[in-house]
Structure 1
Amino acid sequence: MATHLDLEEQEQLDQIKHFWSKWGTPITGIAIVVMGSFAAWNGYQFWQQRQALQASALADVVAVAVESGDQTRVAQAFDAIKADYKGTLQAGYAALLVAQSAVNADKLPEAKAALQWAADSTKDEGYQAAAKLRLAAVLMQEKDLDAAAALLRGSFPAEFKGLVADRLGDVLQLQDKSSEAVAAYKEAWKLLDPQVDYRTLVGFKLNALGEATPESGTAISTETNK
């Protein structure tokens, strides 16, 4: 005897058929989009890894060329990174290498160009900040103090603000703005981690301007009140 679905099961099947006849096509379309997006994401991840590997290889070429003093090779490898891999961390690293090599060779315009490119083009905030700090140092060497000060008064990640304040203090001191330089050094002292040795140098700069470090100043005041 043939078996038959009971009425409840038949009703459920009819509801499913009705639902699928109405919504099956949109659901299928969404599923295709989701699966396609997943495949695209995997493809993008693979592409990023491939870009990073290729950029690393070129950055290594830059490093070796800088070490050997082969300026032609440095320029070729750096141009290739700028053209095809400017969004990678390795591009920012290569730019800093190129700039340092140019500074060592007393080619400040070339150093400025590499650092400006890193500040404008690399997507990593750390490399951008490092490039700006070094660019300010190059501008100071060129005696373009107004440009250096303007650059240092721009936007920086919080982790770099202590170093930025210190360098701004150097610029202000060269501009004979001692009171403003003191304020910048005190800001640097406040922002730099007490465990960082560089903070001691900021203290020396304050002392050279006739100022105690904030902690020392407080201690002196306390003793005086006694």
Structure 2
Amino acid sequence: MARHLDLEEQEQLDELKHFWNQYGNLITWFLIAVAGAFAAWNGWQYWQRSQAVQASVLYDEVERATASGDTARVEQAFKDIQDKFGRTTYAQQAGLLAGKVLADKGKTDAARSALQWVAGSSSDEGYQALARLRLAALLVEAKSYDEALKHLNAGLPKEFEPLAADRRGDIYNLQGRKDLAKQEYLKAWQGFTADTEYRSLIEVKLTALGAEVPTAKRAESAKS
């Protein structure tokens, strides 16, 4: 009985050796690949966390510079985070913040540059839309109406479309294209809910153009 078990065990060992001789290298390389992928994933996660932490420090510097009104520091801090951590969310937020404070301080060229970078580089549609809306406002101030319209017609997310329509209405109004302005204001009016305060502002614009708000309300009812 013992000899029978020894022979059976030997056969199993021989089968195992044969299997390992045939597939051992493949299994080894597969395990190395899995271990390497796991290590790479952990490394990537660590790198991402490290990037975020360092980017947050620079974003804090942008905020401090903004609070102090030091535009030179704002520009430098934004450049630092843009150059070193441009793919992070903090860099995109810094671009929006820098664009706002630089515009408020009259540094429109620098503000437009920051906003253009966010509009063209951000992976977040919301940040892109905000940058385009703010950039369009600066371009309107510079009377670059056609360029502003390009940004407003760039396919913004649905939730930003009422704001874009309102801005387009402003541009057409400034250009003397009153009918187009009414159409865009009406789109904006219809895009906001009845309890939105912004809607009241659009009603004022419609009234100023001779478009009665009750007419706009009937148009909305007909549309629905």
Contact (CA 8 Å) 1:203, 1:213: kept in 2 or not?
no
What corresponds to 1:192 in structure 2?
A: 192
| Contact kept in structure 1, 2:186 and 2:216, CA below 8 Å | no
Percent identity, aligned pairs only? 47
Contact 1:62 1:98 in 2 (8 A): yes
CA displacement, residues 35-71 of structure 1 (integer Å, 9 cap, x when unaligned) = 2111111111111111111111111111111111222
Check conservation: 2:190, 2:220, Cα contact below 8 A.
no
Shift in alpha-carbon separation, 1:200–1:7, aligned structure 2, 3 A: farther
Structure 1: state its 5+ residue gaps. 222-226
Match of 2:88 in 1: 88
1:131-189 deviations in Å (ceiling 9; x for gaps): 11100000011111111112111122222222212211111111111221222222223
Alignment of 1:179-218 (within 5 A): 179-211=179-211, 212=213, 216-217=217-218
- The alpha-carbon deviation at position 27 of structure 1 amounts to 2.3
Residue 56 (structure 1) aligned with residue 56 (structure 2): yes
Q: 1:67–1:10: structure 2 CA closer, same or farther, 3 Å change rule?
A: same
2:42 is matched with: 42
* Gaps in structure 2 of 5+ consecutive residues: none
Structure 2 residue identity aligned to 1:120: G
TM-score (norm 2): 0.86
Following the alignment from structure 1 to structure 2, what is the Cα–Cα distance between the partners of residues 189 and 9?
84
Residue 116 of structure 1: aligned partner: 116
Preserved contact between residue 116 and residue 132 of structure 2 (Cα < 8 Å): yes
**CA–CA separation in structure 2 for the residues paired with 1:12 and 1:195:** 79
RMSD between aligned residues: 2.6
**Structure 1, residues 73-93: CA drift from partner, whole Å, max 9, x if none?**
222211111111111111111
User: Would you say how many aligned residue pairs link Structure 1 and Structure 2?
Assistant: 221
